[in-house]
């Protein structure tokens, strides 16, 4: 009787699985249908309209976030964003988000491009890779749980590993910055 | 009884002989592998003799010793008196073992020395960098204009030494081409060296031999050894850029290449695509295989690889690219021009 | 004061009953957690390690099913990588070394004529730590957090960059659990062997099996710290961002390999040396004569242990360390064959001049000769740098390692189970089923693993979840799978044999095989205090010595857990300490340690906060009980 109980528990445990560890990934998350064009301010004409703001399930998957980190380097995001510290482009590891901090906002920024130099990667980067990048970028400001966010990388160390960063409280700056 | 026992041994030996000769340590095609094979024959010979001797001794012991059961009184005479005959026999056997071991050690050292003394004049220099899960090869040359990069399929000249510098861009991989040499690890942060020479023409298959992640099993490469003039012709062709003379559909295909995700990772010399995170595709149409030795290189497999790579090589870093039918056909036409 | 007399009948029955009361474990559920009798713990330990053996075997069968056909899709690459990692980790860390320590912790006190192991509560603690570590790993595996970087977890693949998530962290922490357990058991065994031998059992008269356990335990002390260091550095690299294995910041990927293999090579000798002791015990009994060449056998085991620490670089021949250095390790790797050869020749000499009783234990011992010798010779092949460069990391090595580990350790282990089962349970294992067990295992093993030699030479690398058709590997892989199924069937036969014989086996008296060492001089199963009257040892095979009946020790109290401590070299009676009574704190401390270890996978603060319950548990573990202290003080003899 006791052994039967143990076996049942074991079987149940195995069904639950652990999304954090799943790899390779099945494909772009279901919520990754093209999001609504996102507003960048809280002002809007007419009746207030609820806005779809899907979460990015890749933020729960450590493999997806590590793929995002790899792609961040390979697609040369470092060229303007310098491992999150910012250079020609704004820093990504702080709490100031010009075009919104939600995953869908970041997705739109990457896909559509933004004024003052952010290229549009829409056609160039496949959809699920964009979501992996979004998950990684969110980890740079400590938004992800420490068991999902990447640990230190096998390279010269630019700073604390993403999983040990303090969680920033992101705030959208109300209006886009003007050109410097 | 003996025939029944012989059957499995023969069928296994037959099975081994039927194993493909192109990724086989027992079919050396170059001087380094030849030397290793010679040492192998000596060592297996000696080890087989020793094994047979031990088995014969054991079987003799089992057949000659008397029988007993739990009640038979034990023979404790040996606790008081020495056993000179046994001592002599055991010492002889140990002495023979030591002598044979010394023979093997000396033979091994000799082989090591020979392996390190391959003549190196007029060598081809290739720098191989392993990635998860494909091979990048850069043919170096003192003249910078003659340097070219390819991926996954190498050609080398028969009879000329090849010096390969081995590096890794991520985790530890191992370069193993059994027909031509033993293996060498490619360790990030270190550079290793392998020197080999093909003495027989042919196409040989190698495979990564250090567990390197999800698709370690599907990280193979091909090395074609051919006469020097054919090799030089191949190298010249590799140095040429992709042709700009394209039909309308091929041009459309190049447009798809540049505007979609291909350009983010791949290089096609002469087209403006110069990314280095995926294999160099300048001459992809002239390769026998795709996806690092995994798929045969034909139009249908290329289409499948571009649109559904995870089905063919789960875990690969090649992304699935969504293309319309027209875009895909044009792209395939363009890729077909990259000979 | 102890007196040495032959036993008298008067009062012996009362004495036996009192002894049983004193030494047995407390009853009930509390007693189950608080038990510290070495036989109770050892049986649990053996059952647990055997359970892990079966689990590891099932994992292997799934792998073989996947590889039976080319381009098979029974399992995908991710699950396959977890399978071979779990199989290797289970067999190496959760079965092979612990089972040897488990069997030793049952037999060594009996063979030495002692009432107990040294440090019985620590023995219990070591078992709980081992159990919790193994459970942690398997729960992680069932939750898809099972490690997938190989049982050897080379960096950088197992490092923070290329193994995201917590999988490798669970692996590294399992290493911590099992190495702690092994180190504690080693300390216990060394102390027992050095200080608790029967009077008269000089080192020169110690059974060969006890020598192997002594040597193995010393090896554990030197080998385990290396892997604990390696895995701890990996944990800190992954958890807090140290750079031990990061070449870009001054670390080195090869550091891992050196540290791991400095442990890893002695590890396989930890697995191999105790079975050499099993072989000596079994062959002596079933040849009806002492093993030939006792001094040579002892020195050979000691030489093997020393040499084993000088071989580790043969796992690294394909790296770019200097060639001259590698040649040194060729010489040492070949040299270690010599002590093993000495042992094999001495055993053959014993068999040749003995009278043989062909029962199942002897059959398994004979299987060793065939399989281990073949494995050892492929080891000579692998010792050569040039040859190793062709067959390293191919199925040739898989064949070699299974030939030496199964032939050299598992076959003698099964022989040991058949041999000592009557001592553990009082009943013999079935002889017919035993012979079927042996032959099915022997044939199935060779059918499965011999083709792998050829597969490796034919180009098939290790750790591949599938292979292409057209390579000519199909038939050999299929044969390997069929053989694997045969092995599974033979293990099933063994389990059936055990379950049936426990109830319906032929009852065994104290000495069903007519053996000569001291464990056969007491009941089967032994009473809680091992010996009603502890023996005095008169020779290497005390029960076979001319008068056949050893003298006994009298005067030890039987109303408290009093034992006899003797001197190291000549086993002269020295002290009469009192062993501690059962309590629940070893179990609870093990739970606290588990919480700290598992917590530190997720946050470094677990090390700080988790230390508090451990400190409490261990304080209460050692807190003297006033009643016991008074009782012991009253019994002290002052000169």
Q: Which residues are CB-neighbours of A68 under 8 A, at least 6 positions away?
A: A58, A129, A132, A133, A134, A135, A136, A137, A139
Host domain of residue B255:
248-336
Which H or E run contains C342? helix C337-352
In contact, B43 and C385? CB cutoff 8 Å: no
**Is position A116 within any domain?**
yes
The average pLDDT across B138-167 equals: 96
Residue B181 shares a structural domain with residue B322: no
Six-digit token string for B188: 């990030």
Phi-psi domain of C199 (left: phi exceeds 0; alpha: psi -120 through 50; beta: other) = beta
Tell me, yes or no, whether B13 lies in a domain: no
- The three-state secondary structure class of C117 is coil
- Would you say residue A32 lies in a domain? no
Least confident range from B64-68, B230-234, C473-477, C632-636: namely C632-636
Interchain CB contact of C482 with B (< 8 Å): no
B276 plus B213 within the same structural domain: no
**3-state SS string for C174-186:** HHHHHHHHHHHHH
Q: For the segment C11-70, what is each residue's pLDDT rounded down to a tens digit?
A: 677 888 999 999 999 999 999 999 999 999 999 999 999 999 999 999 999 999 999 999
The answer to whether residue A9 scores a pLDDT higher than 70 is no
* Measured CA angle at C192 (ends C104, C114), to 5 deg: 85
CA distance C551 to chain B (A): 19
pLDDT digits (tens, 9 = 90+) for B35-50: 999 999 999 999 999 9
Look at chain A and report how many structural domains it folds into: 1
Confidence of residue A50 (pLDDT cuts 50, 70, 90): low
Are the C-beta atoms of A132 and A73 separated by less than 8 Å?
no
Domain-embedded: residue C395: no
Which residue in A2, A14, A20, A21 has the most chain C C-beta atoms within 10 A of its own C-beta, making it the best mutation to test that interface?
A: A21
Which residues in chain C touch residue A156, judged by CB atoms under 8 angstroms apart?
248-249
pLDDT above 50: residue C593? yes
Does residue C392 sit within a domain?
A: no
Rounded to 10 deg, the angle between the C208-240 and C253-287 helix axes is 160
Give the angle A95-A100-A104 at the CA atoms, nearest 5°.
Answer: 120
Per cent of chain C over pLDDT 90 is: 92
What is the CATH classification number for the domain harbouring C91? 1.20.210.10
Question: Looking at the predicted structure, is the pLDDT value of residue B125 above 60?
Answer: yes
Does the residue C85 lie in any domain? yes
From chain A, which residues contact C within 8 Å (Cβ)?
A: 10, 13-14, 16-18, 20-24, 62-63, 65-66, 146-148, 150-157, 160-161, 164
Note whether B270 and B202 are same-domain residues: no
- Kindly list the residues from chain C whose CB atom is less than 8 angstroms away from the CB atom of residue A63: 164-165
pLDDT in tens, C254-281: 999 999 999 999 999 999 999 999 999 9
- Whether residue C410 lies inside any domain: the answer is no
**Confidence band for C558, pLDDT divided at 50, 70 and 90:** confident
Domain boundary among B200, B217, B239: B239
End-to-end distance of chain B based on CA atoms, in angstroms? 60
Tens-digit pLDDT profile for residues A105-153? 899 999 999 988 999 998 899 988 999 999 999 999 999 998 999 999 9
The pLDDT tens digits for C500-535 are 999 999 999 999 999 999 999 999 999 999 999 899
Residue B13 confidence (pLDDT) above 80:
no
Q: Are residues B234 and B109 in the same domain?
A: yes
Same domain as B329, residue B217: no
Contacts of A155 in chain C (CB under 8 A): 246, 248
3-state secondary structure (DSSP) of residue C245: coil
The reply to whether B48 and B196 lie within a common domain is: yes
Query: What string of H, E and C letters represents the secondary structure of C419-483?
Result: HHHHHHHCECCCHHHHHHHHHHHHHHHHHHHHHHHHHHHCCCECCCCCCCCCCCCHHHHHHHHHH
Query: Which of B239, B271, B306 delimits the end of a domain?
Result: B239
A11 pLDDT above the threshold of 80: no
Average pLDDT over residues C233-240: 95
CB atoms C457 and B314 under 8 Å: no
Q: What percent of chain B has pLDDT over 90?
A: 89
Using CA atoms, how far residue C109 sits from B309, C24, C114, C201, in Å, is 61, 16, 5, 13
Check residue C129 and give left, alpha or beta (phi > 0: left; psi -120 to 50: alpha).
alpha
C96: containing domain: 3-357+509-635
Over residues B154-178, mean pLDDT: 97
pLDDT of residue B79: 85
Contact B182 C388 (CB under 8 A): yes
User: How much helix, strand and coil, in percent to the nearest 5, is found in chain A?
Assistant: 40, 5, 55
Q: How far is C148 from chain B (nearest CA, A)?
A: 8
The structure tokens listed for C546 are 């001319």
Other Cβ atoms within 10 Å of C493 Cβ, number: 18
Contact (CB, 8 A) for B338 and B242: yes
Q: Are residues B291 and B311 in the same domain?
A: yes
The answer to whether C576 and C30 have CB atoms below 8 angstroms apart is no
Which strand (E) or helix (H) includes residue C415?
A: helix C411-425
Paired tokens of C501: 């014989």
Predicted local confidence at residue C442, as pLDDT = 98
Domain that holds residue A66: 55-152+160-174
- In a domain, residue B177? The reply is yes
Residues written for chain A: 180
* Helix, strand, coil in percent for chain B, rounding step 5: 45, 20, 35
pLDDT of residue C629: 86
In terms of pLDDT, which residue wins out, C560 or C372? C372
User: What is the number of structural domains in chain B?
Assistant: 2
Contacts B66 to C, Cβ<8 Å: 354-356
For residues C581-608, average pLDDT: 95
Quote the pLDDT of residue B2: 43
Query: What pTM value is reported for the model?
Result: 0.94
Residues C317-356 have pLDDT tens digits of 999 999 999 999 999 999 999 999 999 999 999 999 999 9
For residue A53, the model assigns a pLDDT of: 65
What DSSP state is assigned to residue B307?
H
Tell whether B308 and B232 lie within a shared domain.
no
Mean pLDDT of B267-276: 93
Q: What is the predicted ipTM? A: 0.94
Q: How many CB atoms lie within 10 A of CB C411?
A: 28
- Per-residue pLDDT for C628 more than 90? no
Question: CATH number for the domain including A84?
Answer: 1.10.760.10
Place of tokens 């998530």: C165
**In total, how many domains does chain C have?**
1
pLDDT category at B17 given cuts 50, 70, 90 is low
**Are the C-beta atoms of C418 and C363 separated by less than 8 Å?**
no
Asked if the Cβ–Cβ distance from B320 to A126 is below 8 Å, we say yes
- Name the DSSP letter for residue C197: P
User: Do B168 and B268 fall into the same domain?
Assistant: no
Asked whether residue B84 is domain-assigned, the answer is no
C165–A151 CB contact, under 8 Å = no
Question: C248 — contact with chain B (CB < 8 Å)?
Answer: yes
pLDDT over 50 at B316, yes or no = yes
Best mutation target among C258, C349, C386 (most B Cβ atoms within 10 Å) is C386
User: Does residue A41 lie within any of the structural domains?
Assistant: no
pLDDT tens per residue across span B90-115: 999 999 999 999 999 999 999 999 99
For the cut 70, the answer to whether the pLDDT of residue A102 exceeds it is: yes
Place of tokens 């004979």: C366
C148 within a domain of the structure (yes/no): yes
Residue C88: pLDDT over 60: yes
Q: CA separation (Å) from C302 to C22, C212, C305, C478?
A: 38, 8, 5, 41
Partner-chain contact C389 B184, CB within 8 Å: yes
Residues B257 and B219 in one domain: no
In the predicted structure, residue A13 carries a pLDDT above the cut 70: no
The CATH number of whichever domain residue B330 belongs to comes to 2.60.40.420
* Largest separation between any pair of C-alpha atoms in chain B: 100
Q: What is the mean pLDDT of chain B?
A: 92
pLDDT tens, position by position, C125-179:
999 999 999 999 999 999 999 999 999 999 999 999 999 999 999 999 999 999 9
Q: Residue C612: inside a domain, yes or no?
A: yes
A30-44, A154-168, C474-488, range with greatest mean pLDDT: C474-488
Question: Residue A31 pLDDT > 60, yes or no?
Answer: no
Bigger pLDDT: C7 or A68? A68
The reply to whether A89 falls in a domain is yes
Query: Which of C139, C142, C238 lies at the smallest CB-CB distance from A151?
Result: C238
B81: in domain: no
DSSP letters of B103-119?
HHHHHHHHHHHHHTT--
Q: Say what the pLDDT of residue C312 is.
A: 97
Q: Is residue B16 part of a domain?
A: no
Last residue within a domain, chosen from B239, B267, B296 = B239
**What confidence score (pLDDT) does residue B8 get?**
46
């Amino acid at each position: 009787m006791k052994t039967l109980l143990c076996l049942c528990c074991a079987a149940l445990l195995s069904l639950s699985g652990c999304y954090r560890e799943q790899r390779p990934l099945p494909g772009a998350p279901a919520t990754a249908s093209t999001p609504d064009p996102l507003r960048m301010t809280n002002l809007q004409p007419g009746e207030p309209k609820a806005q779809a703001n899907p979460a990015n399930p890749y933020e729960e998957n450590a493999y997806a976030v590590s793929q995002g980190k790899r792609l961040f380097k390979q697609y040369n995001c470092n060229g303007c964003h310098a491992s999150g510290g910012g250079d020609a482009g704004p820093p990504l590891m702080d709490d100031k988000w010009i075009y919104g901090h939600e995953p869908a906002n970041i997705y739109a920024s990457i896909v559509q491009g933004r004024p003052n130099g952010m290229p549009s990667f829409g056609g160039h980067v496949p959809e699920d890779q964009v979501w992996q990048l979004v998950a990684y970028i969110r980890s740079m400001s400590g938004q992800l749980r420490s068991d999902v966010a990447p640990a230190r990388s096998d390279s010269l160390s630019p700073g604390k590993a993403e999983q040990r960063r303090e969680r920033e409280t992101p705030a959208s700056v109300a209006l886009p910055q003007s050109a410097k | 009884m003996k025939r029944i026992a012989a059957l499995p041994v023969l069928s296994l030996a037959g099975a081994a002989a039927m194993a493909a000769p192109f990724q086989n340590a027992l079919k050396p095609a170059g001087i380094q592998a030849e030397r290793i094979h010679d040492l192998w024959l000596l060592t297996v010979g000696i080890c087989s003799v020793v094994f047979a001797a031990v088995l014969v001794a054991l079987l003799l012991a089992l057949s000659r010793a008397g029988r007993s059961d739990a009640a038979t009184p034990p023979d404790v005479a040996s606790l008081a008196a020495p056993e000179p005959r046994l001592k002599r026999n055991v010492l002889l056997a140990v002495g023979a073992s030591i002598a044979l071991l010394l023979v093997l050690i000396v033979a091994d050292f000799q082989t090591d020395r020979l392996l390190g003394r391959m003549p190196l004049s007029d060598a081809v220099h290739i720098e191989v960098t392993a990635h998860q899960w494909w091979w990048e090869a850069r043919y170096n040359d003192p003249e910078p204009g003659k340097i070219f990069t390819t991926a996954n399929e190498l050609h080398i000249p028969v009879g000329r030494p090849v010096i390969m510098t081995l590096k890794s861009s991520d985790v530890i991989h191992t370069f193993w081409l059994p027909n031509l040499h033993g293996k060498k690890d490619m360790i990030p942060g270190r550079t290793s060296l392998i020197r080999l020479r093909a003495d027989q023409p042919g196409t040989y298959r190698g495979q990564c031999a250090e567990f390197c992640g999800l698709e370690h099993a599907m990280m193979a490469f091909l090395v074609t050894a051919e006469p020097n003039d054919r090799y030089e012709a191949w190298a010249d062709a590799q140095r040429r850029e992709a042709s700009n003379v394209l039909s309308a559909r091929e041009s459309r295909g190049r447009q798809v290449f540049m505007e979609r995700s291909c350009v983010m990772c791949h290089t096609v010399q002469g087209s403006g695509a110069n990314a280095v995170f995926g294999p160099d595709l300048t001459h992809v149409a002239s390769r026998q295989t795709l996806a690092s030795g995994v798929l045969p290189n034909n139009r249908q497999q290329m289409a499948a690889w571009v649109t559904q790579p995870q089905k063919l090589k789960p875990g690969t870093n090649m992304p699935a690219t969504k293309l319309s039918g027209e875009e895909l056909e044009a792209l395939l036409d363009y890729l077909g021009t990259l000979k | 004061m102890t007196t040495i007399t032959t036993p008298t009948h008067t009062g012996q029955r009362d004495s036996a009953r009192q002894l049983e009361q004193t030494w047995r474990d407390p009853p009930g559920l509390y007693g189950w957690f608080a038990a510290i009798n070495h036989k109770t713990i050892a049986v649990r330990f053996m059952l647990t390690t055997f359970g892990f053996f079966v689990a590891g075997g099932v994992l292997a069968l799934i792998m073989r099913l996947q590889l039976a056909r080319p381009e098979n899709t029974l399992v995908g690459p991710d699950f396959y990588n977890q399978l071979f990692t779990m199989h290797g980790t289970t067999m190496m860390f959760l079965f092979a070394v612990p089972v040897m320590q488990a069997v030793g912790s049952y037999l060594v006190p009996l063979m030495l004529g002692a009432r107990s192991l040294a440090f019985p509560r620590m023995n219990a603690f070591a078992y709980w730590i081992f159990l919790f570590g193994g459970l942690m790993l398997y729960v992680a595996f069932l939750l898809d957090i099972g490690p997938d970087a190989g049982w050897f977890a080379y960096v950088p693949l197992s490092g923070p960059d290329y193994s995201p998530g917590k999988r490798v962290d669970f692996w590294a922490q399992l290493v911590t659990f099992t190495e702690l357990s092994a180190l504690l058991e080693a300390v216990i065994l060394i102390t027992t062997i050095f200080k608790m031998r029967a009077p008269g059992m000089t080192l020169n008269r110690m059974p060969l099996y006890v020598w192997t356990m002594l040597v193995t335990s010393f090896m554990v002390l030197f080998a385990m710290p290396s892997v604990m260091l390696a895995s701890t550095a990996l944990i800190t690299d992954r958890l807090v961002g140290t750079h031990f294995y990061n070449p870009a910041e001054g670390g080195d990927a090869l550091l891992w390999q050196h540290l791991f293999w400095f442990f890893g090579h002695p590890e396989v000798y930890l697995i191999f040396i105790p079975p050499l002791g099993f072989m000596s015990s079994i062959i002596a009994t079933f040849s009806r004569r002492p093993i030939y060449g006792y001094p040579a056998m002892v020195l050979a085991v000691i030489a093997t242990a020393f040499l084993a620490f000088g071989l580790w670089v043969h796992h690294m021949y394909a790296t770019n360390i200097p060639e001259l250095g590698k040649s040194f390790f060729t010489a040492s790797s070949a040299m270690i064959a010599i002590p093993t050869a000495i042992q094999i020749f001495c055993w053959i000499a014993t068999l040749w001049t003995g009278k043989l009783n062909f029962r199942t234990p002897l059959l398994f011992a004979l299987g060793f000769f065939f399989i281990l010798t073949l494995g050892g010779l492929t080891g000579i092949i692998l010792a050569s740098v040039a040859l190793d460069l062709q067959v390293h990391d191919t199925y040739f090595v898989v064949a070699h390692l299974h030939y030496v580990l199964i032939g050299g350790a598992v076959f003698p282990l099964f022989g040991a189970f058949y041999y000592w089962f009557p001592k553990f349970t009082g009943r013999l294992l079935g002889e017919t089923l035993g012979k079927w067990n042996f032959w099915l295992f022997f044939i199935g093993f060779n059918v499965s693993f011999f083709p792998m030699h050829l597969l490796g030479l034919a180009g098939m690398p290790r750790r591949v979840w599938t292979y292409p058709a057209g390579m000519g590997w199909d038939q050999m892989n299929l044969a390997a799978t069929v053989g694997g199924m045969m092995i599974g069937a033979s293990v099933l036969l063994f389990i059936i044999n055990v379950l049936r014989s426990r109830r319906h086996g032929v009852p065994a008296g104290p000495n069903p095989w007519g053996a000569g060492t001291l464990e056969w001089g007491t009941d089967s199963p032994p009473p809680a205090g091992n010996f009603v009257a502890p023996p005095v040892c008169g020779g290497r095979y005390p029960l076979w010595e001319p008068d056949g009946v050893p003298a006994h020790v009298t005067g030890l109290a039987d109303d408290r857990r009093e034992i006899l401590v003797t001197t190291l070299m000549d086993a002269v009676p020295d002290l009469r300490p009192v062993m501690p009574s059962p309590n629940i704190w070893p179990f609870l401390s093990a739970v606290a340690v588990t919480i700290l270890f598992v917590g530190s996978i997720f946050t470094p603060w677990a090390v700080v906060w988790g230390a508090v319950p451990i400190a409490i548990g261990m304080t209460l573990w050692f807190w003297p009980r006033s009643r016991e202290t008074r009782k012991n003080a009253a019994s002290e003899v002052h000169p």
